[in-house]
Structure 1
Amino acid sequence: MPSIYQLKPAFQNLLRPFVRMLFNFGITANQVTLLAMFISIGLSYFLYSYYLTHPISWLLLLFPLWMLVRMAFNAIDGMLAREFKQQSNLGAFYNELSDVISDTALYLCLIAFGFIHAQLLLLITFLAILCEYTGVMAPLIGQERRYDGPMGKSDRAFWFSLITVIIVIFPIFSTNLQFLSWICNGILSFIGVLLALTVYNRIKNSLKTTS
């Protein structure tokens, strides 16, 4: 099944001149990785705290905006590491752990909305972590890190961003929170099914390449 991750090479080509400029300024891959993680945590805390006591507002659109910018950060740190010889063992830990920490924080900040089922959101967050863990397990059996879809990191960023956009624009058309709950939790359920399929695909394809 197709995945947004397949668009990464074209995205990297667009960013390459900017990456070279960052390198010339002395910016390292690890600095970009850690900055993206801290911004993700900070934004998550801000949105969670704000929406515990405030009605839905356009501020929530910071979520999809940051998801888009964060995709650029993820591409940039990888290009700095590979193309400018900044790869390191510590950087490998930073890269994997900061992504999981950032994703977990960003997903869980939506628990501030009472119409989103907390148990379902926690399950999706767990499956997302499991999905990434499955990907990094592949090198333990001599294979490359797996990025198979259909619900990889970039795909999750799209669908969670869609949820936040729906939350913002829904009051324009209706005040029925039950219907909004049905839409948001329906999308979360869809994400969950595809996450389970992604875990299966990553295991299957890792084992296939060993035979």
Structure 2
Amino acid sequence: MASIYDLKPKFQQLLDWPTRKLYGAGVTANQVTLVAAVCSVALGATLAVLLAIQAGGGAPVGLFWLALPIFLFIRMALNAIDGMLARRYHMQSALGALLNEAGDVVSDAALYLPFALLPGINGGWVVTLVLLSALSEMVGVLGQTVGGGRRYDGPLGKSDRAFLFGVLGLLLALDIPYLPWFTAVMILANVLLVLTTWNRGRQALRAASTSETQP
């Protein structure tokens, strides 16, 4: 099933120059992974604090929401660069694989959970979305265990979720009323994540079965 992840090869071509520059500066793939995760947690915590202050009668978050779509794009670039560094310059390691998978789940949770604090919405749908996101990534990783390879199938993979929440952050920064549609979007995203998880499991088992029957 189609996903924004399918555009990754072309995106990586645009990142060739910064990848070479970072390698020349002695930056490692694991360092890039850690920077992306730490910055994600920092931004998510800042958004949560600002929303709490807003709920207490303080200044609204306002244009600070713009930081989310901007950073999500930067994070996508960092995620691509760490993989390019690892593969191109032989930095692949067991630690790097663990940091990459765990960092993505932690970063998603940190960046998306603050939406549960938006005034007037049912935050439970956001929490469920974060949990389903983690489940979909776990099933994607388990594809390797069953012999079907790491699965990135959609329709709501990591890149798709980043695009969705980037758009939501932009709409909030523009002060567009969100109460009429936000919950419906979250419900739809939850449904798509269930489909994503099922699709990844199905494709992993299919790939594993195919590899077993090949001579």
TM class, shorter-length: over 0.9
- 1:16 counterpart residue number: 16
Corresponding pairs, count: 204
Query: The residue matched to 2:15 in structure 1 has which SS?
Result: helix
Q: How far apart in 1 are the matches of 2:190 and 2:19?
A: 34
Percentage identity across paired residues of the two chains: 42
Q: Which amino acid aligns with 2:203?
A: N
The question of whether the paired residues in 2 share the 8 Å contact of 1:159 and 1:187 is answered with: no
1:70 aligns with 2:83: no
Mapping of 1:115-154 within 5 angstroms? 115-154=120-159
- 1:111 counterpart residue number: 116
- 1:2 counterpart residue number: 2
What do residues 18-43 of structure 1 show as CA deviations (whole Å, max 9, x unaligned)?
10111011000000000000000001
After TM superposition, the runs of 4+ consecutive aligned structure 1 residues lying more than 3 A away are none
Q: How far apart in 2 are the matches of 1:198 and 1:104?
A: 18
Mapping of 1:51-200 within 5 angstroms? 51-53=51-53, 54-171=59-176, 180-200=178-198
Query: The residue matched to 2:181 in structure 1 has which SS?
Result: helix
Query: The residue matched to 1:209 in structure 2 has which SS?
Result: helix
- Tell me by how many angstroms 1:85 deviates: 0.3
The question of whether the paired residues in 1 share the 8 Å contact of 2:148 and 2:203 is answered with: no
Q: Which amino acid aligns with 2:52?
A: L
- Tell me by how many angstroms 1:170 deviates: 3.6
Q: How far apart in 1 are the matches of 2:114 and 2:201?
A: 29
Q: How far apart in 1 are the matches of 2:112 and 2:70?
A: 14
- 2:37 counterpart residue number: 37
Q: How far apart in 2 are the matches of 1:28 and 1:94?
A: 13
What do residues 102-148 of structure 1 show as CA deviations (whole Å, max 9, x unaligned)?
00111111222123311111111110010000000011112210000
Q: How far apart in 1 are the matches of 2:147 and 2:116?
A: 38
Q: Where do 5+ consecutive residues of structure 1 fail to align?
A: 172-176
- Tell me by how many angstroms 1:169 deviates: 1.9
The question of whether the paired residues in 1 share the 8 Å contact of 2:50 and 2:61 is answered with: no
Q: How far apart in 1 are the matches of 2:63 and 2:175?
A: 11
Query: The residue matched to 2:203 in structure 1 has which SS?
Result: helix
Point out the more displaced range, 162-171 or 135-144. Answer: 162-171
Query: The residue matched to 2:174 in structure 1 has which SS?
Result: helix
Q: Which amino acid aligns with 1:193?
A: V
Q: How far apart in 2 are the matches of 1:39 and 1:168?
A: 20
Q: How far apart in 1 are the matches of 2:26 and 2:121?
A: 43
Q: How far apart in 1 are the matches of 2:150 and 2:84?
A: 17
The question of whether the paired residues in 2 share the 8 Å contact of 1:48 and 1:111 is answered with: no
Aligned CA RMSD, in angstroms, stands at: 1.1
Point out the more displaced range, 56-65 or 150-159. Answer: 56-65
